[in-house]
Structure 1
Amino acid sequence: MGALSMQGKATGSSSEKGRYIILISIHGLIRGEHLELGRDSDTGGQTLYVVELARALARHPDVWRVDLLTRQVIDPKVDDDYAQPLEPLGDKAYIVRLPCGPRRYLRKEVLWPYLDGFTDAALQHVRRIGRLPDFVHSHYADAGFVASRLTALLGVPMVHTGHSLGWPKRERLLEQGVREEQIEQHYNLSQRIEAEEMALENAQLVVASTRQEVEQQYARYDNYQPKRMEVIPPGTDLTRFRPPKQRERWPPIWEELQRFLRHPKKPMILALSRPDERKNILTLVEAYAMHPTLRDLANLVIVAGNRDDISHMERGPKTVLTNLLMCIDRHDLYGHIAYPKHHDDTDVPDLYRLAARLKGVFVNPALTEPFGLTLIEAAASGVPILATHDGGPRDIIRHCRNGYLIDPLKPKRMARRLEQMLIDPEQWGQWSQNGLKGVHKHYSWDSHVEKYLKAVRRTSKGKYRPQHAWGPSSRMPTIDRLIVCALDNVLMGDEEAQQELVSRLEKSGEHIGFGVATGRTLDSAMKLIKASALPMPDVLITSVGSEIHYGHRMVHDQAWLRHIDFRWEPDKLRDAMKQFKGMKLQPKTEQHPYKISYFIDSRKGPSRREVVRHLRKLDLHANVLFSRNMFVDLLPIRASKGTALRHVSVRWNIPPEKILIAGSCGNDADVLSGNTLGVVVGNHSDEIERLRGWPRVYFAEGEHAWGILEGINYYDFLGVIHIPNDEYEEA
């Protein structure tokens, strides 16, 4: 048994042999067959990577089951496949689609408000399986946020892969002249970067694709710890990507390409990517257009996603494709360049084989390329490569010795390199053979999985197997729903309202549970509860989520303490905080082994961001909470009111939709988000205003306990619970 006890019908148990692995990749459109690669900026190489990783892991004899968790999409604009809750990927591997926010398809930049709900749904999935995962592997920043919360609740190790990172993207956009406010409005990069910091802080292992990613891209982050990073390049499906056979039939896509080309059997210069400005396709076309010898020598084939009507596409792809067509027209490249409107995933291997058959070259001219999966696929098909010098292609060329690196912003040099590669058949043949050997040695999925599991075993050996110790005298097993309230300024502050609330709860029946979540220590909270003649809580979350107690005997949840102890160094944290002015430790009565509390003078003291960055640079880790411009609490990174409450939810099998939360200030924010039903009382602080408009957070007009009663009525919480639609309204 792990940090959370599993109940209910299970499809597996801890007695099953082999590892249970959860992969999380939330955005984009993910399915097992006919991947819509290039449909948009969210459905690219990461989609293929996680599906193939799941299958490869499931083939390993040490693995019992692999679940790839992603977002369920029910939308007439996309295929019905993405609405199916479960899709097998072969033996032992499954895509599991979980509800997350609105049912329609959304781009990743607007998913942030719904990620707590995804965490809750993931917890319920683990309960249905009936077994804790051996580890959780997150992919990209949004999944890193979810996995940080999920592994904190489950007490299991976390692995993270960034795929692409926010800091490098921000710097590239600024270099291109995009204004800060535009970057934030469209890409939500500050939230993405903070989620990446959170993932780096919680992950026991970060899997990177290239050494450059570790040494340059991740080095930009406060939580940069290279000792926790491992370079394990992704694999490719060597049964799917292979060289052409002798006298092989021309594939279906060949007929489509011939529509464009005057001399289709010339050598092919092939580029395959999304219509994304970062992919730099236009520079390749300019390089080809400005070099007459190259135009005579070879055809250019640009496969840039799928389209019906460019005018109906999103702004980014529309701009890229419009500029592409204008460039083709300006240089009169008709008959020399093919740019098909449609292709599917079965055409992709055929395109590489066509390039090999016609003695061509594959080009990746991206401004930066975190890895370069298309380069591996081209090499596995026997095609030499020309690739950007920024990012993963450096390692690929070093391992495969099958082409050149180029500066993607120098089109004349790009054109000269292409000419050199196409006019020397002996060198072309050597590069083709080198690429095949290099891919089989360094980039097969089987070799990737062996290195991957070895790194995970080394990282998590002997850790994260806490046991529970529950005591008697708890009503929790009989509770159907739970009301949890903050103490100060919520339950407290209006005696008449408080008495009305208590009376209402007493009349509601035994199935309604009562809980308190507070920043106070246990002793301080109990004194206030007794002095106010409040009923004894069924669950009491104290010290801002660092302790959980149950029933009249206030039985301590020891397992919770064991798994929040992760990377907690209180003495070093107190020493580190001494550098800040305007901060003073609160009295000993408000301190706790897993909570360090300060008073702060908002005029002299640091901002939360300054505290967080200072601690991260010292390799110290804490959940830093500012509230009411007066208080600062440092907790373990796995501790908060929200994670503690979700621990309770899963432990006692109370769905989040049957938990009502009432709060008023900043340290209540994470407990109010997710799939629970939130109430913000009328006398709330300004820092909680950012939740206004969230679908399951009701802002009451009534103050103190009157606001709680108003929220109970709004949700009909003591009757047939009303759950609002999960539509996020911009404040």
Structure 2
Amino acid sequence: MAAQNLYILHIQAHGLLRGQNLELGRDADTGGQTKYVLELAQAQAKSPQVQQVDIITRQITDPRVSVDYSQAIETFAPKGRIVRLPFGPKRYLRKELLWPHLYTFADAILQYLAQQKRTPTWIQAHYADAGQVGSLLSRWLNVPLIFTGHSLGRIKLKKLLEQDWPLEEIEAQFNIQQRIDAEEMTLTHADWIVASTQQEVDEQYRVYDRYNPERMLVIPPGVDTDRFCFQPLGDRGTVLQQELARFLRDPNKPQILCLCRPAPRKNVPALVRAFGEHPWLREKANLVLVLGSRQDINQMDRGSRQVFQEIFALVDRYDLYGSVAYPKQHQADDVPEFYRLASHSGGVFVNPALTEPFGLTILEAGSCGVPVVATHDGGPQEILKNCDFGTLVDVSRPANIAPALATLLSDRDLWQRYHQNGIEKVPQYYAWDQHVNTLFERMETVALPRHRAVSFVRSRKRLIDAKRLVISDIDNTLLGDRQGLEELMTYLDQYRDHFAFGIATGRRLESAQEILKEWGVPSPNFWVTSVGSEIHYGTDAEPDISWENHINRNWNPQRIRAVMAQLPFLELQPEEDQTPFKVSFFVRDRHDTVLREVRQHLRQHRLRLKSIYSHQEFLDILPLAASKGDAIRHLSLRWRIPLDNILVAGDSGNDEEMLKGHNLGVVVGNYSPELESLRNYERVYFAQGHYANGILEALKHYHFFEAIA
């Protein structure tokens, strides 16, 4: 029996998405994936199985972009909403600059769901940044995750290196290694990875360490054939025809249409060069370049600016004035009319991209009756194999493009066959209803609903009616200065009726109890021990069974020990330092790449686990869903205490996850170098005071208890 009352949560991080008039091609963040997400969500919202579809994205308040992107809630369908949550700066940031803020985004989504008192049936994450956020939420909520990469970092890196980009420049502009790491992490967590073509699976996802063919799902996207269809020109089409005529000496010639973002990988200058060097094409056709909307190219990102500068230089070199149109502005609703203009002119659509994961514009063109010439890289291979409405070429050499265009424009029988095939076959093979039905069928094979580690329903037993939590690591954070500890305890005692105190440590429970007793610290209200793999409550240390059930998935400590024994720089710690959900090692050979080598080794053995390196000496392997940061979010959800009201203190690498995010973090003055990367996090305070002195300093800095004083 099909699942009913589905609540589907899409995550798309960058924020330039709205329910009407998408700004496609505005910049590198407004390409085909934006349209894919919206149209998929619209199709899902039409299903009788679905109760609600939410697209969660970033709220942007910036005069440089439309005020639409600051609207908190936008309805795009009777059962569909765009929910915009603020994180990071209010201004627009390109997606490569969002990485430091993604943990805060995940926490914001968590708080939104808590306020809604609702858990999604599953999460669908789009692109690497949303994949990272979706992985966190999937862990915290124990709900399935579907990932769609749209484009992949390893493939982008390969193409840029082939174009002789220096690696340092690639990293500086695209944060490519962080993107690849996020993709690897997401492939670890995802229940299904949706690809548009088998080629995408075989040639792109396969190069990742965490690639697992059993979790790959090939479902092509659909085309909105109500919009993208062959029909007479409308009023808007006539207006666009007049707009193009401003550029063209003879507007009645067949059009060679290219419609894409002005991104370097789209390879548009090669098309202009091919057109300019082919006398027959210049005589018989016009070239129409619809490359997004622009105001001042000097204000565009560097890649887009370079593309336009190269195009303008080529137009001048080959004296193409009167033969090339490059309109400055267009609306989303103009796109079908551009295709129809090309079709009615007897023209051709061309996709010259160096790499094309799918090729949605090819489908749109075909559905509107425009034959295509397309790159032989990626998705176009399968599209044209299925529907036969165009020709594939190796676009890496401009000389290959022009003959293919000339053949289609001169052979009217071939043109007519491709014209008819596109109109008839695209709707047969590429429909959103088919995509949604296939996805729903596959999701029924995943246990829905899973055991929820946390319920948003109010527990009968609140954690001492706490309004706030103060949580500290033990060694070198809470403990280290007896006088500072005494001053902190005295300060906290003033507010004892309004907050709960807990510790979060790498120590075992018994060891934590002993050291706190030795230092005279009263028993905490809760204990997060063994690097977040165990939670206990009160003086009796009552275990949190729901947490154990949550993290137990795919946990096999015997296999972990065997696999990690292959790394010569690791030494297993004594048995008394091992716990049921933590395998611990000493790092004998300290070097900068310890963590990267460990994670790569785990990926190669298809172990979906978490590794934490601390004090440049200790390595802990934990269940994927376990860490001190994950445990704190479990406590926040279970006891319904907002992350804004939680202060966390730490000093080393195994504290990193719990310090960043929407909770308030404090790094004490005697911190380890691993935490230096947190200086750019807006909700992490680096204290001057060492040990407990730093915690007290942070409590006063944040005015943590002022609202309840």
By the TM > 0.5 criterion, same fold? yes
Q: CA deviation at 1:509?
A: 3.5
CA distance in 1 between partners of 2:699 and 2:309 (Å):
54
CA distance in 2 between partners of 1:692 and 1:657 (Å):
19
CA distance in 1 between partners of 2:275 and 2:447 (Å):
51
CA distance in 1 between partners of 2:450 and 2:7 (Å):
16
> Which residue is 1:429 aligned to?
416
Query: In the alignment, is residue 198 of structure 1 matched against residue 185 of structure 2?
Result: yes
> Which residue is 1:357 aligned to?
344
Question: Letter of the aligned partner of 2:672 in structure 1?
Answer: S
> Which residue is 1:489 aligned to?
476
Which ranges in structure 1 are unaligned for 5 or more consecutive residues? 1-15, 723-731
> Which residue is 1:407 aligned to?
394
Q: Deviations over 1:22-65 (max 9, x none)?
A: 00011140000011000000111111111111110011111111
CA distance in 2 between partners of 1:635 and 1:665 (Å):
17
Question: Letter of the aligned partner of 2:313 in structure 1?
Answer: M
Alignment of 1:55-66 (within 5 A): 55-66=42-53
CA distance in 1 between partners of 2:204 and 2:267 (Å):
20
| Cα contact 2:196–2:220 (8 A) shared by 1 | yes
| Cα contact 1:473–1:552 (8 A) shared by 2 | no
CA distance in 2 between partners of 1:471 and 1:520 (Å):
31
Which deviates more, 39-48 or 520-529?
520-529
Shift in alpha-carbon separation, 1:349–1:702, aligned structure 2, 3 A: same
CA distance in 1 between partners of 2:387 and 2:646 (Å):
56
Query: In the alignment, is residue 38 of structure 1 matched against residue 25 of structure 2?
Result: yes
| Cα contact 1:608–1:626 (8 A) shared by 2 | yes
Question: Letter of the aligned partner of 2:569 in structure 1?
Answer: G
CA distance in 1 between partners of 2:445 and 2:277 (Å):
53
> Which residue is 2:73 aligned to?
86
Question: Letter of the aligned partner of 1:611 in structure 2?
Answer: V
> Which residue is 1:510 aligned to?
497
Q: Deviations over 1:250-299 (max 9, x none)?
A: 43211100101111111111000111111000000111111101111111
CA distance in 2 between partners of 1:460 and 1:270 (Å):
47
Query: In the alignment, is residue 612 of structure 1 matched against residue 625 of structure 2?
Result: no
| Cα contact 1:484–1:660 (8 A) shared by 2 | yes
CA distance in 1 between partners of 2:231 and 2:708 (Å):
62
CA distance in 2 between partners of 1:261 and 1:634 (Å):
65
> Which residue is 1:7 aligned to?
none
Query: In the alignment, is residue 591 of structure 1 matched against residue 578 of structure 2?
Result: yes
Q: CA deviation at 1:308?
A: 1.7
Q: CA deviation at 1:695?
A: 1.3
> Which residue is 2:325 aligned to?
338
Shift in alpha-carbon separation, 1:408–1:592, aligned structure 2, 3 A: same
1:696 aligned to 662, 674, 683, which one?
683
Question: Letter of the aligned partner of 1:90 in structure 2?
Answer: A
Which deviates more, 599-608 or 288-297?
599-608
Give the SS at the match of 1:254: helix
Shift in alpha-carbon separation, 1:691–1:603, aligned structure 2, 3 A: closer
Q: CA deviation at 1:435?
A: 1.5
> Which residue is 1:4 aligned to?
none
Question: Letter of the aligned partner of 1:293 in structure 2?
Answer: W
Question: Letter of the aligned partner of 2:370 in structure 1?
Answer: V
Shift in alpha-carbon separation, 1:660–1:604, aligned structure 2, 3 A: closer
| Cα contact 2:354–2:375 (8 A) shared by 1 | yes
Which deviates more, 185-194 or 543-552?
543-552
Query: In the alignment, is residue 386 of structure 1 matched against residue 373 of structure 2?
Result: yes
Which ranges in structure 2 are unaligned for 5 or more consecutive residues? none
> Which residue is 1:553 aligned to?
540
CA distance in 2 between partners of 1:696 and 1:522 (Å):
29
Alignment of 1:117-132 (within 5 A): 117-132=104-119
Query: In the alignment, is residue 135 of structure 1 matched against residue 122 of structure 2?
Result: yes
Alignment of 1:456-535 (within 5 A): 456-460=443-447, 463-465=450-452, 476=463, 478-535=465-522
CA distance in 1 between partners of 2:631 and 2:237 (Å):
60
Shift in alpha-carbon separation, 1:605–1:666, aligned structure 2, 3 A: closer
Q: CA deviation at 1:464?
A: 3.9
CA distance in 1 between partners of 2:66 and 2:687 (Å):
40
CA distance in 2 between partners of 1:348 and 1:471 (Å):
50
Question: Letter of the aligned partner of 2:343 in structure 1?
Answer: A
Shift in alpha-carbon separation, 1:468–1:256, aligned structure 2, 3 A: closer
Shift in alpha-carbon separation, 1:604–1:368, aligned structure 2, 3 A: closer
Q: Deviations over 1:495-542 (max 9, x none)?
A: 121121111111123112211111112222122223322122222211
Q: CA deviation at 1:248?
A: 8.2
Q: CA deviation at 1:605?
A: 11
| Cα contact 1:469–1:559 (8 A) shared by 2 | no
Query: In the alignment, is residue 310 of structure 1 matched against residue 307 of structure 2?
Result: no
2:147 aligned to 160, 168, 175, which one?
160
| Cα contact 1:541–1:644 (8 A) shared by 2 | yes
Shift in alpha-carbon separation, 1:470–1:464, aligned structure 2, 3 A: closer
Query: In the alignment, is residue 104 of structure 1 matched against residue 91 of structure 2?
Result: yes
| Cα contact 1:163–1:370 (8 A) shared by 2 | yes
| Cα contact 2:51–2:79 (8 A) shared by 1 | yes
Question: Letter of the aligned partner of 1:614 in structure 2?
Answer: H
Shift in alpha-carbon separation, 1:605–1:316, aligned structure 2, 3 A: closer
Which deviates more, 177-186 or 163-172?
177-186
Question: Letter of the aligned partner of 2:319 in structure 1?
Answer: D
Q: CA deviation at 1:227?
A: 1.0
CA distance in 1 between partners of 2:471 and 2:641 (Å):
13
Q: How much identity, in percent, do the aligned residues show?
A: 48
Q: CA deviation at 1:465?
A: 4.6
> Which residue is 1:19 aligned to?
6
Query: In the alignment, is residue 290 of structure 1 matched against residue 277 of structure 2?
Result: yes
Question: Letter of the aligned partner of 1:533 in structure 2?
Answer: G
Q: CA deviation at 1:469?
A: 13
**Corresponding residue pairs, total:** 707
Q: Provide the TM-score with structure 2 as the length reference.
A: 0.97
CA distance in 1 between partners of 2:41 and 2:234 (Å):
35
> Which residue is 1:630 aligned to?
617
CA distance in 1 between partners of 2:451 and 2:382 (Å):
35
Query: In the alignment, is residue 231 of structure 1 matched against residue 196 of structure 2?
Result: no
Query: In the alignment, is residue 540 of structure 1 matched against residue 524 of structure 2?
Result: no
Which deviates more, 464-473 or 85-94?
464-473
2:632 aligned to 639, 645, 659, which one?
645
Give the SS at the match of 1:251: helix
Query: In the alignment, is residue 222 of structure 1 matched against residue 209 of structure 2?
Result: yes
| Cα contact 2:223–2:427 (8 A) shared by 1 | no
2:162 aligned to 163, 168, 175, which one?
175
Question: Letter of the aligned partner of 2:216 in structure 1?
Answer: M
> Which residue is 2:244 aligned to?
257
| Cα contact 1:474–1:550 (8 A) shared by 2 | no
> Which residue is 2:103 aligned to?
116
| Cα contact 2:458–2:640 (8 A) shared by 1 | no
CA distance in 1 between partners of 2:279 and 2:103 (Å):
56
Which deviates more, 296-305 or 519-528?
519-528
| Cα contact 1:83–1:97 (8 A) shared by 2 | yes
Q: Deviations over 1:379-438 (max 9, x none)?
A: 111111111111111111111111111111122221001011111111111112212232
Q: CA deviation at 1:154?
A: 0.4
2:404 aligned to 417, 426, 433, which one?
417
| Cα contact 1:471–1:555 (8 A) shared by 2 | no
> Which residue is 1:674 aligned to?
661
1:70 aligned to 54, 57, 70, which one?
57
CA distance in 2 between partners of 1:464 and 1:368 (Å):
41
Question: Letter of the aligned partner of 1:505 in structure 2?
Answer: L
CA distance in 2 between partners of 1:603 and 1:412 (Å):
53
Q: Report the RMSD for the aligned CA atoms in angstroms.
A: 2.1
Q: CA deviation at 1:720?
A: 4.3
Shift in alpha-carbon separation, 1:631–1:249, aligned structure 2, 3 A: closer
> Which residue is 1:5 aligned to?
none
CA distance in 2 between partners of 1:162 and 1:292 (Å):
41
> Which residue is 1:13 aligned to?
none
Shift in alpha-carbon separation, 1:30–1:644, aligned structure 2, 3 A: same
CA distance in 1 between partners of 2:546 and 2:531 (Å):
17
> Which residue is 1:277 aligned to?
264
Give the SS at the match of 2:476: helix
